[in-house]
Homo-oligomer: A and B are copies of this chain.
Amino acid sequence: MEELKRKIREEGIVLPGNVLKVDSFLNHQIDPELAMAMGREIARRFGGAAVDRVLTVEASGIAIGLAAAYALHVPLVFAKKSKSVLMTEGAYTAAVYSYTKKTENQISVLKRFLPAGESVLIVDDFLANGEAALGMASLVRQAGSRTAGIAVAVDKAFQAGHDRLLADGYRLESLAVIDSLDGGTVHFRE
């Protein structure tokens, strides 16, 4: 998606350790026009796939998840990372390791909000090692539903996640695929 790539070129900051900061428009400050356009693009790519629901994970997946769900005219559910004291009912849970924060989180969704027999589109802002996406796919499987596909904004395809998701047979749609950050420059896959 050209608009996203241009924004990454203009505002992305490459840091040591293969870190790409896009916090000026994607995961701290958010450009609402771009977020909604990304949602429309995801809906276009999955338009024929009869998606029943969008699943993302808090916090930075919520904006792009909402945009995709709005464009697809389906509900959004976001998995939670901490257990609220209100969350006393049954929930599906999965363990997700965050390489950025160096912690393992449990992500969970109330069973009520992941019915069986649905086709669920997983949406997230970033794909790096694939932990979050695979955790969400596990929630969908536990619910007795199927993953229609996985849509991400920024796919750091030189890390393990891209190949893991494809090897597991998921349909992966990435709005910007990055092959390397060598030399502090973003190299997109054409």
User: A residues within 8 Å of B by Cβ?
Assistant: 15, 19, 21, 23-24, 28-33, 35-36, 58-59, 62-63, 66-67, 69-70, 73-78, 80, 82, 84-86, 100-102, 109-110, 112-113
The residue of chain B having its C-beta at the shortest distance from the C-beta of A103 within the complex is: B82
A85 touches B101 (CB 8 A): yes
15 contacts between A and B (CB under 8 A): A19-B86, A28-B80, A29-B76, A29-B113, A30-B66, A30-B69, A32-B74, A32-B75, A58-B59, A59-B62, A62-B63, A63-B63, A63-B66, A82-B101, A84-B101
Question: Could you say which of A32, A62, A70, A85 has the most chain B C-beta atoms within 10 Å of its C-beta?
Answer: A32
B77 touches A36 (CB 8 A): no
Contacts A29-B113, A32-B75, A85-B102 known; 18 new A-B pairs at CB < 8 A: A15-B86, A23-B86, A23-B110, A23-B113, A24-B113, A28-B109, A28-B113, A32-B69, A32-B70, A33-B73, A35-B66, A36-B70, A58-B58, A58-B59, A59-B78, A62-B66, A63-B66, A66-B67
Chain B residues, CB < 8 A from A19 = 86
Complexed CA–CA distance, A35 and B32 (Å): 14
Chain B residues, CB < 8 A from A30 = 62, 66, 69, 75-78
CB distance from A61 to the nearest CB of B (A): 9
Question: Could you say which of A28, A58, A76, A77 has the most chain B C-beta atoms within 10 Å of its C-beta?
Answer: A28
| From B31, B33, B62, B86, contact of A21 by CB (8 A) | B86
Chain B residues, CB < 8 A from A63 = 62-63, 66, 76
Chain B residues, CB < 8 A from A102 = 85
